[in-house]
Amino acid sequence: LQQPCFGTCRSVKEFEKFNRIGEGTYGIVYRARDTRSDEIVALKKVRMDKEKDGIPISSLREITLLLRLRHVNIVELKEVVVGSQLESLFLVMSYCEQDLASLLENMQTPFSEAQVKCIVLQLLRGLEYLHHNFMLHRDLKVSNLLMTDKGCVKIADFGLARVYGIPVQPMTPRVVTLWYRAPELLLGTKTQTTALDMWAVGCIVAELLAHKPLLPGGSEIQQVDLIVQLLGTPNDNIWPGFSRLPLVGQYSLRKQPYNNLKNKFTWLSEAGHRLLNLLFMYNPQRRATAKDCLDSSYFKEKPLPCEPELMPTFPHHRNKRAAPRVESRPKRSKV
């Protein structure tokens, strides 16, 4: 595998590092200034902890994917730069002032429904582009959604992303942060499709609406139980092939005949409930696609999505401290 810079990489010494702004799947992210252009960028140091043979395959995969992607709602990889003697590698990304996890922590009042719709529409557009290009993100969560000070949402952290083909190839099931992990992954499926990203979208939509994580499980067993409590007990009628999933026998599922989404979001419109229910379909083949969601009447009814420029921003809070990891966030109460 060739290195992505093809011998023309600049040195990281041409960048002035300011402060650490977060940590992705494969490296620490810094806010920095390109001394050549004076532009503020995000500088992502690629982890090389245990690598004796150069760049880890996971990092090469992310670099290769990102260099191919160009969409307003996906973070842009500008170039790759190197440290001294090529033992360290840095990705130069477009800088976004905040991530949604930090925003949710710092906001005094929750996002309005119009603002939630604005965020979700942008997420769906970016995801539709990804899926159209046969890519699964596989680690969607609020801390991997960045926002510029003009309200533009960008999908970030492609460390677990994969290209998928037809027929779909088996992949490792241990992907996606636990709270956003689809039931088919928890039950051991080897076949991964765009549906697992869409489950994560459902979790993100619900989290933005409720201002707290929807399914904050502490273990895989608890995660499955929280899903069953919310959506009812799955069976082969609603999810063909359910009983044949590899890990079904490891769980003693509670008998829960009801879907409780309406009780969680009593104020949500019929169209809103329809959208959530389509995103939380147990059967991955029936789960809504990004295109399905973009066509949802939920985004065409009042309150209409606000314009990105009207999104609330906190342009400076990310300059002061590292963005929190979603897994360690305390549970937020609705304000």
What is the predicted pLDDT for the residue at 191?
86
Residues making up the annotated binding site are 44
- Regarding the domain delimited by 98-320, which CATH topology (the fold level of the hierarchy) does it fall under? Transferase(Phosphotransferase); domain 1 (1.10.510)
**Catalytic residue at 139?**
yes
What is the predicted pLDDT for the residue at 259?
96
CA 287-290-295 angle, 5° bins: 100
Per DSSP, the chain holds a count of helices (H) and strands (E) of 9, 11
Which secondary-structure segment (H or E) carries 115?
Answer: helix 113-132
Query: Distance (Å, rounded) from C-alpha 159 to C-alpha 136?
Result: 11
Query: Distance (Å, rounded) from C-alpha 178 to C-alpha 193?
Result: 17
Name the residue among 220, 217, 169, 177 with its Cα closest to residue 199. Answer: 177
What is the predicted pLDDT for the residue at 330?
41
Q: Indicate the class that CATH gives domain 15-94.
A: alpha beta
Query: Are residues 298 and 269 in contact, defined by beta-carbon separation less than 8 angstroms?
Result: yes
Q: Where are the domains of the chain?
A: 15-94, 98-320
Q: Say if residue 167 is preceded by a cis peptide, omega within 30 of 0.
A: yes
* 3-class SS of residue 224: helix
Name the residue among 111, 102, 328 with its Cα closest to residue 208. Answer: 111
Query: Are residues 209 and 203 in contact, defined by beta-carbon separation less than 8 angstroms?
Result: no
Q: Which residues pair with 92 in a beta bridge?
A: 43, 79
Name the residue among 43, 141, 142, 73 with its Cα closest to residue 102. Answer: 142
Dihedral sign of CA atoms 91, 106, 265, 233 in order: positive
What is the predicted pLDDT for the residue at 165?
58
282: amino acid identity, one letter = Y
What is the predicted pLDDT for the residue at 6?
46
Distances (CA, A) of 306 to 68, 109, 250, 295: 30, 17, 45, 17
- Residues in the chain with pLDDT values less than 70: 1-7, 24-26, 47-62, 85-87, 159-176, 313-335
- In a 10 Å sphere around its CB, with 0-12 CB exposed, 13-18 middle and 19+ buried, how is residue 95 labelled? buried
* 3-class SS of residue 106: helix
Residues making up the annotated binding site for ATP are 44
Q: Which of the following is catalytic: 99, 139, 157, 225? A: 139
| Pairing between β-strand 98-99 and β-strand 77-82 as defined by DSSP bridges | unpaired
